[in-house]
Structure formats: structure tokens, C-alpha cells
Amino acid sequence: MTKLRWGMIGGGEGSQIGPAHRLGAGLDGAFEFTAAALDHRPDAGRAYGQTLGLAADRSYGDWQEMLAGERGRDDRIDLVTVATPNATHFEITKAYLEAGFHVLCEKPMTMTVEEGEEIVKIARTTGQICAVNYGYSGYSLVRHMRAMVARGDLGAIRLVKAEFAHGHHADAADADNPRVRWRYDPAQAGVSAQFADCGIHALHMASFVIGQEVEKLSADTVSCIPSRLLEDDAMVNMRFDGGAVGRLWTSSVALGRQHGLTLQVFGEKGGLRWSQEQPNQLFWMPLGGRLQTIERGEANLSPEADRTSRVTIGHAEGMPLAFANIYLDLAAAIRAHTAGQPVDPAADLYPRAEDGLRSMAAVFAVAASGRDDGRWVDARPPMFRG
């Protein structure tokens, strides 16, 4: 099978998320790293691209130059990943979709709900694939949780509790550090800091696993470091469209928590608990039974879990492999798209532009509720309301 050609915008030398994408896209041999505009400094981006093995004429100085260069080629890229800072996602994703490229955009997909709706409409009109990198949904046991809920192991879902709480911005003396400060500056970060950065991962995971979307929410947002203009901690109560109650805590001042993404799901027939820092174990408590540990890679898991588990049981699999599973889904989706054939349902689980839009509506709902003493507000994007 010929490889698909993959391009990247952002993710330059020293970036946080660039290496995880390159590991993920390269893992299964489905994609060949072919073109990039890696850095906001054109020369640095061109040079770094070549050290990563790109041909000189496809290691571009900026995304516009890359768009012009790639759109005219017979061997143009099949997929582009957008891993630049948040405020640039909308215009880059829009331009590439409109030019007929499939896109994987980093979260948050846009800065406003209106932009999110526009991306969804463009993706639907052009027929291009537009994915959003909620990469943690690629973990094998997260896929298994979803399959267990979908096949009814837990019965009706009563409660879902999601957390993404870390302590990396807890130092008040560090609040003026330029790498931290912009995140709490409304001019650069938008209406929300911690919920928009981390809370949306927890919310996406909750929705993905229980197969329900948030309808309304009430948020208590706070700046534990008082000089911050945006929240560094939020507690959000939610109601989902399938009847589940949601509780979500996100924080950047939770000292001692390193990453802190966890999910608990409680149904009428059993409960599940999973943590990103211990991704190879899933804890399952069936009603009237005993607490059990489900290990990634063990026999008789769901097809969704088997497909996304790569190394034998007992060996660690981590975040780059979760990203690789998003790329594995995308390779299947792009091949099916080209052939005009349906995608295997077990492979059709990558997060969509619609998920990116729902997150943005939730971000604005959290900000509005937080400003208004926790008033319950509609969390759905206008285009998805009745």
C-alpha cells in the first residue's frame, strides 16, 4: 500500500507538541512526512524541516507559501496537521480545507463559536476530513471504555466525573513568566484559560466515552492567583443529552498533580475508572461483583481496543501511541474517502470538527456562567440547538 503524504504547520524545534505528532504520524508507516512550515521564523522552520529529512523545496517558510507550493503539485500532501498557537488555527484550517486538503487541527479548533460553526460548514460543504486532536481519545482503554458503555455493560449512565487538574502554574512568583502569562491574558487566550486549555480535553473524553453531548452547565471559575484575569481553576456541573449528570474539575494550581486527566463513569450496572498517567489499567466494578483490573492488551477486549493496542501486555504504551491511533483512524478515513467506500466503524473514531465546535460552545458557556455566579447556561452551539 502506498504511503499517504503528510504535512505539518507549527511544531518546530523545541515546541511542546510537534514531536508527539511526528512520532504518532510515523508509527504505522501509513504516512510519510513530506512537507512542512514548522516555525514562525521562516529560516528556522526551513532549516529544521531539512534536518528532519524534508526535501529543501518542501520545507517551507510559512503556511501560505506551503499552501501555494502544495496545491499545484500532483503529489501534494494528503493530510496537514495544524499545531501552531491557538489564535492561528481558524485561518490556517479554513484555508487548507477550502483548497481541498484534509486537516487535523490542534485544540482548541478556533477562538470563537462563530469560527467553529464556519469550520464545520466548510468541512461539510467541501467534503474534506477535518479532525481535531483530542489525542487522549486514542488510548486503547479509552476506546474500550467507550465500547463497554455502548454495548450496555454499565446500563444507563448516571454520572460521569472528569478531571484535568495539574499544578504547573501554581507558583505566584512565576505568573509574570512570558511562557505562562499569555495564557491568562484575555487578549491572547480569549475568554478562558484553564478550561479552554485542559478542561475541554476532559469534557471531550467524557462525551466520547458515554456517547452523550453536554446540553447545559453551571461553572464556578476562579483565579487562585488573584493577578490573573482568567481562571486557573474551574468546577463545572453539567447535564448531558442522554440523561447523564457530569462533574468536571480542571486546575493549573493543583500542586503535586503532574498531568491529572482522569475519567470515572458510573452506570446502573457498574462503574469505570481510568487515568492518563496509568493508561494501561482500567478499573471496573460490576454491580454486586468485585473490583477488577482490565489490562491493555489482554484477550477478549473490544475490537476498538484490540485495534489500538500495539505492544504486548505488561509493556508501557503512552501518549504518542494514543496520537498514533488518531493518525491510524485518519489514514483509514482518507483511504476510504479516496476510494468512495465506507470506513470500518472500529476505525471511525477520530474527533471531528463538530467536537471542536462543541468544545468552543462549552468554553463560552463556562465563561458566561462563571461571570454570573454559576447560572445554568445552554452549552450547545447555536447550529446544534433544536
Ligand X SMILES: NC(=O)c1ccc[n+]([C@@H]2O[C@H](COP(=O)([O-])OP(=O)(O)OC[C@H]3O[C@@H](n4cnc5c(N)ncnc54)[C@H](O)[C@@H]3O)[C@@H](O)[C@H]2O)c1
Q: Which residues bind ligand X (CB under 6 A)?
A: 9-12, 15-18, 37-40, 62-63, 83-86, 88, 106-107, 133, 135
- Please give the order of strands across the beta sheet that includes 79-83: 31-37, 4-10, 79-83, 102-105, 130-132
183 vs 228 by CB, closer to ligand X: 183
* Cα gap 86→74, rounded to integer Å: 31
Question: Which residue's C-beta sits nearest to ligand X?
Answer: 12
Rounded to a whole number of angstroms, the minimum distance from the CB of residue 139 to ligand X is 12
Rounded to a whole number of angstroms, the minimum distance from the CB of residue 245 to ligand X is 26
Rounded to a whole number of angstroms, the minimum distance from the CB of residue 278 to ligand X is 17
Burial class for 62, CB neighbours closer than 10 Å (0-12, 13-18, 19+): middle
* Cα gap 177→172, rounded to integer Å: 10
CA atoms within 13 A on the CB side of 216: 6
The residue type found at 20 is A
Rounded to a whole number of angstroms, the minimum distance from the CB of residue 135 to ligand X is 5
Rounded to a whole number of angstroms, the minimum distance from the CB of residue 23 to ligand X is 13
The CA-atom distances, in angstroms, between 70 and each of 7, 32, 76, 328 are 10, 15, 5, 23
Rounded to a whole number of angstroms, the minimum distance from the CB of residue 118 to ligand X is 18
88 vs 223 by CB, closer to ligand X: 88
Task: Assess contact for 323 and 20: CB atoms under 8 A.
Answer: yes
C-alpha cell at 117: 460553526
17 vs 224 by CB, closer to ligand X: 17
39 vs 148 by CB, closer to ligand X: 39
38 vs 147 by CB, closer to ligand X: 38
Which candidate, 298, 271, 274, 273, places its Cα nearest to that of 285? 271
16 vs 312 by CB, closer to ligand X: 16
Rounded to a whole number of angstroms, the minimum distance from the CB of residue 163 to ligand X is 15
Q: In degrees rounded to 5, what are phi and psi of residue 237?
A: -100, 140
84 vs 302 by CB, closer to ligand X: 84
7 vs 381 by CB, closer to ligand X: 7
In three-state secondary structure terms, 237 is: strand
HEC-encoded secondary structure of 289-344 = CCCEEEECCCCCCCHHHHHCCCCCCCCCCCHHHHHHHHHHHHHHHHHHHHHCCCCC
Distance of CA 361 to the CA centre of its chain: 15
Q: Per-residue DSSP letters for 244-293?
A: -EEEEEEES--TT-SS-EEEEEEESSEEEEEETTSTTEEEEEETTS--EE
9 vs 353 by CB, closer to ligand X: 9
